[in-house]
Structure 1
Amino acid sequence: MVHDVRGREGPGVVTRRALLVGGAVAGPLFIAVALVQGAVRPGYEPLRHPVSSLALGPGGAVQVVNFLVTGALYAGLAVGLARAPRPAGTSRARAVLIGAAGVGLIGAGAFRTDPVGGYPPGAPDALAGYSTAGALHDAFSVPVFLAVPAAALLHARARRREGDGGWAVASAGCGLVVLAGFGAASAGFGQHPALVDVAGLVQRLSLTAGFGWLSALAVQALRQPASNVPR
């Protein structure tokens, strides 16, 4: 049982809530750490360079840990959401997609990106080809920018069917911002002249939209009555 006869929360509920709390704080923590690093790192231009480039050069281990911790927290969020009572019409695929994004962040931390945009100082704007680590980093990063918006759009459809227009619009908007930002930032990091100088900013806006939606989703799940959790 979730509750004992005195109405106290059982260990399963406590664990679920801890996973949801971790998911709620994961995004703000990731963004805050990246912003601080970007502001103090010599030669790094936050408006121009990707967040992943913070894993390169002196102090790069901080960003590696940032990826790993955030990925683990989002993997935990996926488990917490799978155990939590779901709003009517919500698919379990939502939790699977969020879990995929968590694994993607862990992989992005395990494999460092290639230099781009002249960072670290002395590196060319673009390399002739990928290193193995750089290719794996990019492959693991894809679920972050595709699985999160897919989960948001699934949630938007479910909420619209249930008449929850506010959540539907917010979820769809965040999902579309992530997708559009991913495309624009990728073009900028590929040295598209119109986007190269703002690619880092666009990527950060995309991440903020996606991670902000995940935090809101976790908070919503935390507000669900614990007594509704299936045994």
Structure 2
Amino acid sequence: MPDARRTSAADPGGMPNDSDDRVPGGERVALRRLALTGVVGPILSVLVFTVAGALRPGYSPVHQAISALGNGAGGRLVDAVAVAMGAGLVVFAVVFATLLRPVLGRGVRRFAAVCIVLDGLGVATAGVFTDAPATTALHTAGASLGAISTLVAFAVIGVALRRDARWRRWGGYSLAAAVVALALVAAEYALLMPRSPLHALHVGGLLERADFVWHYAWYVAFGYRLFRGPVDAAGRVEPISSEHA
């Protein structure tokens, strides 16, 4: 629960305002812009693997994994985008932890940042080490690290934000994201594992895409919210230019 000092340093929208001297105006402007790393990376990744899947002969996005696109024609582009997205998530972790100083306690912010960094490293690892036979174990480890770390982050952030009336809806969204993501991950693994009785349904690729979109929609939503920045008492969003003073 934020203490009185933290709460007084936040505006009615739950974001730092000019009275919060812990994040100087110029730094806050840069951080708000860098929050878009949580928006651009996931959207670009979805665009790239969707187009790559459509252009690859014989590839089925319904029953084949996204990682299959990391090998063969166009694979280097898919892998490079994954690495770039992972790096962007590491940057986003710093932005998230810094801009939410007035809302979340230090322990929660640090824990959330570590989880988001682990997700970024997991995504980058999955991009560097493809699911080719020689590196499939490292690829799977990276993907699993990302999935597990963010499930935990969503839950912890959700519980913490629910304690602040201004961010209660975002807390509820984070908790819902954790629950739905857990269900999607479980279904995805059950459908993609060759030894699973559900593998014969051949819809694992579709579930993986649903999981990816749902999972990283959280980053897109929070990244855009942090980019928009604080709101005044009338609910108007303050433009970035107003923070240069």
TM-score by length of 2: 0.76
Cα deviation code 1:83-128 (max 9, x no counterpart): 21335345111121111101111111110113xxxxxxxxxxxxxx
Following TM superposition, by how much is the alpha carbon of 1:13 offset from its aligned partner in structure 2, in angstroms? 2.9
Alignment check: 8 A CA contact 1:108 1:140 kept: yes
3-state DSSP class of the match of 2:35?
A: helix
What is the DSSP-based 3-state SS (H/G/I as helix, E as strand, rest coil) of the residue aligned with 1:154?
helix
Letter in structure 1 aligned against 2:143: S
Q: Does residue 200 of structure 1 match 2:205?
A: yes
Residue 125 of structure 2 aligns to a residue in which SS? helix
Counterpart of 1:213? 218
Mapping 1:1-231, distance limit 5 Å: 9-10=25-26, 12-86=27-101, 88-89=103-104, 91-92=108-109, 93-114=111-132, 131-163=133-165, 164-191=167-194, 192-195=196-199, 196-225=201-230
The whole-number CA distance in structure 2 between the counterparts of 1:186 and 1:87 is 38
Unmatched segments (≥5 aa) in structure 1:
115-130
What does the per-residue CA deviation read over 1:114-149, in whole Å, with 9 as the maximum and x for residues that have no partner? 3xxxxxxxxxxxxxxxx4411011111112211122
Return the letter of the residue paired with 1:180.
A
Counterpart CA distance in 1 for 2:62 and 2:142 is: 23
Letter in 1 for 2:82: F
Q: Tell me, yes or no, if the aligned pair for 2:154 and 2:175 is still in contact at 8 Å.
A: yes
Aligned residue type for 1:167: W
Residues 51 and 200 in structure 1, CA contact (< 8 A), matched pair in contact too: yes
> Offset at 1:223?
3.2
**Inter-partner Cα distance in structure 2 for 1:165 and 1:14:** 25
Give the conservation status (yes or no) of the 8 Å contact 2:130–2:136: yes
On the 8 A contact 2:33/2:227 being kept in 1, the answer is no
SS of the residue aligned with 2:103? Answer: coil
8 Å Cα contact 1:85/1:224 also seen in 2: no
Give the root-mean-square deviation of aligned CA atoms.
2.3
Which residue of structure 1 lines up, in the alignment, with residue 9 of structure 2?
none
Rounded Cα–Cα distance in structure 2 between residues aligned with 1:52 and 1:158: 34
Question: Secondary structure of the residue that 1:175 maps to in structure 2?
Answer: helix
- Equivalent residue letter for 2:219: L
Q: Which string of whole-angstrom CA distances, capped at 9 and with x for unpartnered residues, describes residues 155-201 of structure 1?
A: 21012222444223321121222222222111222123434411111
3-state secondary structure, aligned to 1:161: coil
Q: Give the drift of 1:216.
A: 1.0
Are the aligned partners of 1:113 and 1:137 in contact in 2 as well (CA < 8 Å)? yes
Give % identity.
Answer: 30
Maintained 8 Å contact 1:89/1:161 = no
TM-score by length of 1: 0.80
Q: Greater shift after overlay, 194-203 or 59-68?
A: 194-203
